[in-house]
Amino acid sequence: DQQVKQNSPSLSVQEGRISILNCDYTNSMFDYFLWYKKYPAEGPTFLISISSIKDKNEDGRFTVFLNKSAKHLSLHIVPSQPGDSAVYFCAASARVRGSNYKLTFGKGTLLTVNP
Amino acid sequence: DGGITQSPKYLFRKEGQNVTLSCEQNLNHDAMYWYRQDPGQGLRLIYYSQIVNDFQKGDIAEGYSVSREKKESFPLTVTSAQKNPTAFYLCASQGLAGVNEQFFGPGTRLTVL
């Protein structure tokens, strides 16, 4: 049973426009959400995160919105650039033993930004 | 430079052989993780370790084994019992307690022939 879902396998956007990547989750124990960016044959790199006590976090061109009642989050990239083309993974964090956390990942969305 | 290293980048093995993937970090992180990525799939957790000499099974631990004898090192052995070992393997680490971000290595692509 997938606890973190990214229902769009791919998204194509024109350079300069907004990219919106969506993510839904089912487990109400998740209390922290992260977005990672991944290029082929490389490890994911951390992009931006949000705590469940907030509804928005912004970092430059990247903004993450959290709608806790809908169990939905989205990543907005404005303006989109060709270098943003990559796979974007949504991840949700829940506490495991002690004070560490386990991440559960969605399947990813391939973003293509066309020049 | 601080970071996570995985070696080698590409690894080929014959079916039925055990193979060990290396993961080293010099970030002084306590927690380390192993994930597997398959085409069209997200990252799935194999094993994780919060401290030296302790590790826990993740969601898909069958056919894998790990050890954590040193804080810096968390090697993963893919055994012959793993039915579909060909995949991209990613190691990650996490630092301060309560900090949720995990930092990933560059990955090892394992192909079993």
Cis peptide bond N-terminal to B8, omega within 30: yes
* % of chain A residues with pLDDT over 90: 85
The pLDDT value given to residue B42: 86
* CA-based radius of gyration for chain B: 13
Q: Does B90 touch chain A (CB under 8 A)?
A: yes
Exposure b/e, B27-65, CB count within 10 A at least 16 = b: eebbbbbbbbbeeeebbbbbbbbbeeeebeebeebeebb
**Is the pLDDT reported for residue A18 higher than 80?**
yes
The pLDDT value given to residue B96: 66
**Which tokens in the block code for residue B62?**
């069958």
The pLDDT value given to residue A99: 64
**What average pLDDT does this structure show over A86-112?**
88
Q: Does A24 touch chain B (CB under 8 A)?
A: no
Which DSSP state fits A68? Answer: T
Q: Do A105 and B30 touch (CB under 8 A)?
A: no
Distance CA(B34)–CA(B22), nearest Å, equals 11
pLDDT digit string, tens, across residues A42-58? 999 999 999 999 999 99
Model confidence band, residue B98 (pLDDT cutoffs 50, 70, 90):
low
Of A45, A98, A105, the CB nearest to B43: A105
Residue A58 burial (CB count, 10 A): 12
Closest residue, chain A, to B33 (C-alpha): A102
Nearest-5° angle of CA B87, CA A12, CA A56?
90
- Mean predicted lDDT score pLDDT of chain A: 93
Q: Do B97 and A100 touch (CB under 8 A)?
A: yes
Q: Work out whether the CA dihedral A70, A63, B45, A11 comes out positive or negative.
A: positive
Model confidence band, residue A17 (pLDDT cutoffs 50, 70, 90):
very high
Q: Do B90 and A44 touch (CB under 8 A)?
A: yes
The pLDDT value given to residue B9: 92
Q: Do A43 and B94 touch (CB under 8 A)?
A: no
Residues of chain B contacting A41 with CB distance shorter than 8 Å: 9, 88, 107, 109
pLDDT digit string, tens, across residues B19-65? 999 999 999 998 999 999 998 888 999 999 988 999 999 999 999 99
**Is the pLDDT reported for residue B76 higher than 90?**
yes
Q: Which residues does residue A92 pair with via DSSP β-bridges, in sequence order?
A: A33, A104
Q: Work out whether the CA dihedral A36, A58, A61, A25 comes out positive or negative.
A: positive
Q: What is the dihedral of CA B44, B100, A64, A88, to 10 degrees?
A: -30
**Which tokens in the block code for residue A114?**
């066309």
Q: Does B42 touch chain A (CB under 8 A)?
A: yes
The pLDDT value given to residue A98: 67
Alpha carbon distances (Å) from B30 to A30, A55, A103, B50: 22, 30, 16, 6
Q: Does A42 touch chain B (CB under 8 A)?
A: yes
**Which tokens in the block code for residue A14?**
């024109």
